[in-house]
């Protein structure tokens, strides 16, 4: 069994495997949101299909991975010292998530791109997934912010009761069943928006990631047995793909049991990538996707700014009578490049400096130091609020 947050004398090492997963997810999200030239070509439609069809599911992947990483930080601590330092965890998350997020909000206030009534109070209070926001991509950040408060509180209760691994996992599974039942009920009542946006109906995707972390840190032998079943992992990922292709168009079905099926499949994908991607890590495509994953939080926050240039290019090509099939690639590539460049610049200018400040004031505690057994943290930028 291997972990992915080791340190050396030069500082924290990144996990290219998890960055690759982030890269896949943010590419799916961008492809779903970006505007495209309608070509009428079956070949172009086939190329666009995974981008235009599965962007929403990219958010579910972010949720599951975030739960795995957050759960890893907290459950590693609980497994080693039997307690949860919720205050320190929340402070470090604030340094991680809020600076880049509030710069985004300030930008929208100063630029006047939307009336402040459509986003300001909603986003400042992290209630945009309930109240709505014209900065539409930020709804998932609210879900994760709520999760960052809920999970430490839950695990503090677990620590107070001194629950063992099986009881912790059973508790998390019970919560997942409750969330699934509640979501099925709200879907049956026809409220699909609530099932999609509201925290109480989406948090199980994160909790399944926490369950995976609980198995990893608290029942390593069970994790090893599960990870050793490569064919089973591949079968689960193929079942996930089959669900995405065949079932996600049925929105009530997908928003009820579908999110649970996706979370299980994404857990298998995480394990498969961590344990079996060694031969792929040097491939240029794998490393390129992982590089995008490094800057995925910044890209997620700012990628909507690429939509207006995309629309401008579409109009310019149409005015110049450029054939649609010739305009398609430049329009889509331009939006990807703009979003990635903005995400890269803002990550370097805002997120990374605040992480250095955070680590100077609240350094990650490590085994052998004061507070022995506190978790080492993996410095990987967040998407949708994911942890470092």
Contact 96, 66 (CB under 8 A): no
Decide: residue 284, CB within 10 A, 0-12 exposed, 13-18 middle, 19+ buried.
exposed
pLDDT band at 365 (very low <50, low <70, confident <90, very high): low
Report which of 72, 12, 90, 132 is spatially closest to residue 378, judged by C-alpha positions: 12
Q: Give how far Cα 197 sits from Cα of 47, 140, 254, 255, Å.
A: 29, 8, 14, 10
Q: Specify the residue for token string 């490569």.
A: 230
Q: Which whole number is the average pLDDT over 362-376?
A: 50
Contact 351, 296 (CB under 8 A): no
Q: Which whole number is the average pLDDT over 274-279?
A: 93
Residue 220 is predicted with a pLDDT of 95
Q: Which whole number is the average pLDDT over 218-230?
A: 96
Q: Which whole number is the average pLDDT over 10-33?
A: 85
Residue 375 is predicted with a pLDDT of 35
Residue 14 is predicted with a pLDDT of 73
Contact 26, 245 (CB under 8 A): no
- Angle at Cα 134 formed by Cα 128 and Cα 137, nearest 5°? 65
Residue 271 phi/psi, 5-degree rounding, is -65, -45
Q: Give the number of other CB atoms < 10 A from CB of residue 242.
A: 12
pLDDT, the chain, mean? 89
Tokens of 242: 């089959």
Helix (H, G, I), strand (E, B) or coil at 365: coil
Residue 382 is predicted with a pLDDT of 36
The dihedral formed by the CA atoms of 188, 194, 200 and 202, expressed in degrees to the nearest 10: 90
Residue 11 is predicted with a pLDDT of 39
Report which of 260, 63, 28 is spatially closest to residue 144, judged by C-alpha positions: 63
pLDDT at 210 over 70: yes
Q: Which whole number is the average pLDDT over 182-210?
A: 97
Q: Which whole number is the average pLDDT over 96-124?
A: 96
Residue 63 is predicted with a pLDDT of 96
pLDDT at 135 over 60: yes
Decide: residue 39, CB within 10 A, 0-12 exposed, 13-18 middle, 19+ buried.
middle
pLDDT at 169 over 80: yes
């Amino acid at each position: 069994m291997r972990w992915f947050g080791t340190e050396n004398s030069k500082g924290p090492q990144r996990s290219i495997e998890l960055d690759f997963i982030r890269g896949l997810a943010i590419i799916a999200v961008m492809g779903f949101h970006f505007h495209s030239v309608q070509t009428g070509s079956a070949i172009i439609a086939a190329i666009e299909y995974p981008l235009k069809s599965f962007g929403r599911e990219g958010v579910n992947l972010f949720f599951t991975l975030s739960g795995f990483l957050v759960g890893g930080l907290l459950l590693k601590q609980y497994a080693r010292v039997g307690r949860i330092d919720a205050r320190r965890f929340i402070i470090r998350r604030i340094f991680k998530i809020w600076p880049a997020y509030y710069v985004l909000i300030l930008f929208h206030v100063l630029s006047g791109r939307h009336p402040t009534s459509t986003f300001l109070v909603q986003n400042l209070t992290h209630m945009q997934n309930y109240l709505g926001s014209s900065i539409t991509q930020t709804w998932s950040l609210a879900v994760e912010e709520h999760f960052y408060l809920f999970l430490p509180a839950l695990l503090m209760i677990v620590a107070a009761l001194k629950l063992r691994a099986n009881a912790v996992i059973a508790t998390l599974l019970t919560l997942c069943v409750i969330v699934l039942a509640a979501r099925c009920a709200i879907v049956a009542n026809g409220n699909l928006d609530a099932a999609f946006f509201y925290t109480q109906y989406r948090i199980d995707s994160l909790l399944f990631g926490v369950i995976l972390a609980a198995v990893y840190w608290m029942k390593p032998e069970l994790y090893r047995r599960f990870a050793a079943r490569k064919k089973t992992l591949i079968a689960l990922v193929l079942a996930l793909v089959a669900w995405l292709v065949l079932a996600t168009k049925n929105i009530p079905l997908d928003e009820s049991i579908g999110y649970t099926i996706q979370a299980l499949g994404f857990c298998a994908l995480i394990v498969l990538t961590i344990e079996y991607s060694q031969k792929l890590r040097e491939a240029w495509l794998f490393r390129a996707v992982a590089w995008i994953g490094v800057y995925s939080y910044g890209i997620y926050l700012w990628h909507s700014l690429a939509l207006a240039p995309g629309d401008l290019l579409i109009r310019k090509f149409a005015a110049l009578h450029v054939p649609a099939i010739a305009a398609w690639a430049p329009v889509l590539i331009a939006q990807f490049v703009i979003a990635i460049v903005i995400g890269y610049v803002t990550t370097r200018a805002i997120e990374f400096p605040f992480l250095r400040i955070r680590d100077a004031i609240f350094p990650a505690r490590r085994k052998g130091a004061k507070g022995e057994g506190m978790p080492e943290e993996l410095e990987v930028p967040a998407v949708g609020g994911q942890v470092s």
